[in-house]
């Protein structure tokens, strides 16, 4: 069954009040996804359908996974076709796993945390691709889990069931989504890491930094969280816009073929490596945060 036909059949037959037992048409279709070999999945990817366990989900979905990145939806990153509660649309979204995070955060706090993480992950996506995947999902459900899916979306594209694209268009969109997933996964490996800088100057010698298999191996920007200082007059918030700038730019240049390095580069902000005409080249990057749009100051 083509992907297009599968999505249409699920949308037309799914009943959130119909339970999850065998013999329920849409639930059977979702369970069969895992064993299908006729879906246009990118090479090496696997898929599985989800319609709830003891009770039917208000927003059924199909997960698409790159086993080298993640095999389960509880945590990590994956792709998903998530149906709206009214089953009139389905969204292909690059998702963050929410199940394990739900144990750490209350629902409202979880959504805020997912939005915060999505911003960092989005920085690692190729800009020319990301601009085509800016849809903000709204699944029309009041339950905590669908609302967490909305907040956890890193990039998304929505399809109306009544105007679902042709199979080849859906297949190409899924291929592009797989590239977004791999870019975001590279961002995820480093975005939570922080580094305590050595106060001693570092003398840079090019030969001492051989490109690693992981382009982000030497990229560990400082924490970009706000911090507080106590001075006369009370406590004041200080922002680390500079650190966030270096973090986002470092994730971006990986998608352009450069290797960003911060480890051992103090007092330099960032060093980039790339081979040009089979010769190693190095770029020195200095980041400046412009406050309130005033570049002169």
What is the reported pLDDT for 190? 58
Name the nearest CA neighbour of 216 among 249, 269, 260, 270.
260
DSSP label at residue 134: B
CATH of domain 3-188: 3.30.920
Q: What is the DSSP letter of 268?
A: S
DSSP 101: G
Element (H, E) at 174: helix 167-188
Query: Is the separation of the CB atoms in 93 and 167 below 8 Å?
Result: no
**Secondary structure (DSSP) of 182-200:** HHHHHHHTTTT------SS
Q: Strands, DSSP E only, in the chain?
A: 46-52, 56-65, 77-83, 89-96, 153-160, 227-231, 234-238, 259-261, 270-276, 279-285
Pair 249, 265: CB distance under 8 Å: no
Residue at token pair 């706000």: 226
- Owner of token pair 């003398």: 203
Annotated domain spans of the chain? 3-188, 206-293
Who's near 69: CB < 8 A, 6+ residues apart? 76, 77, 78, 181, 182, 185
Instruction: Please answer whether residues 53 and 20 qualify as being in contact, where contact means their C-beta atoms are separated by less than 8 angstroms.
Output: yes
Alpha-carbon distance of 141 to 248, in angstroms, equals: 33
Cα 144 to its chain centre, rounded Å, is 20
> What is the pLDDT tens value at each position of the chain, 297 positions in all?
799 999 999 999 999 999 999 999 999 999 999 999 999 999 999 999 999 988 999 999 999 999 999 988 998 999 999 999 999 999 999 999 999 999 999 999 999 999 999 988 887 788 778 888 999 999 999 999 999 999 999 999 999 999 999 999 999 999 999 999 998 888 777 554 433 333 333 333 333 443 445 666 667 766 656 545 455 556 554 567 888 888 889 888 888 888 888 887 777 888 898 888 878 888 999 888 887 888 776
- Please name the residues in contact with 272: beta carbons below 8 A apart, sequence gap of 6 or more: 253, 258, 259, 260, 261, 282, 283, 285
Cβ pair 136, 150 in contact under 8 A: yes
pLDDT at position 295 is 78
In this prediction, residue 32 carries a pLDDT of 96
Predicted local distance difference test score (pLDDT) of residue 205: 35
Task: Look at residue 229 in the predicted model and tell me its pLDDT.
Answer: 47
pLDDT for 128 equals 78
d(CA 71, CA 227): 36
Contact 126, 255 (CB under 8 A): yes
């Amino acid at each position: 069954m083509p992907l297009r036909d599968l999505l249409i059949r699920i949308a037309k037959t799914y009943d959130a009040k119909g339970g999850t037992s065998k013999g329920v048409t849409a639930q059977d279709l979702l369970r069969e996804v895992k064993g299908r070999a006729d879906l246009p999945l990118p090479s090496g990817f696997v898929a599985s359908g989800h319609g709830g366990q003891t009770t039917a989900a208000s927003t059924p979905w199909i997960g698409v996974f790159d086993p080298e990145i993640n095999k389960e939806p509880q945590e990590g990153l994956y792709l998903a076709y998530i149906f709206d509660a009214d089953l009139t649309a389905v969204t292909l979204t690059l998702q963050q796993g929410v199940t394990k995070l739900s144990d750490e955060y209350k629902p409202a706090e979880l959504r805020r945390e997912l939005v915060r993480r999505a911003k960092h992950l989005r920085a690692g996506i190729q800009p020319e691709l990301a601009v085509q995947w800016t849809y903000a999902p709204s699944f029309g459900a009041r339950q905590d889990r669908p609302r967490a899916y909305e907040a956890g979306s890193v990039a998304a594209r929505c399809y109306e069931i009544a105007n679902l694209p042709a199979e080849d268009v859906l297949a190409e969109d899924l291929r592009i989504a797989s590239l977004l997933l791999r870019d975001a996964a590279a961002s995820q490996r480093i975005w939570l890491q922080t580094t305590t800088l050595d106060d001693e100057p570092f003398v840079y010698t090019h030969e001492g930094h051989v490109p690693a298999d992981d382009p982000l191996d030497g990229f560990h920007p400082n924490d970009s969280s706000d911090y507080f200082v106590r001075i006369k007059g009370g406590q004041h918030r200080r922002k680390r816009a500079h650190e966030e700038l270096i973090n986002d730019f470092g994730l971006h240049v990986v998608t352009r073929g450069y290797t960003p390095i911060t480890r051992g580069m103090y007092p330099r902000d960032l060093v980039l490596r790339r081979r040009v005409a089979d010769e190693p080249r190095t770029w020195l990057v200095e980041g400046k945060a412009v406050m309130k749009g005033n570049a002169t100051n």
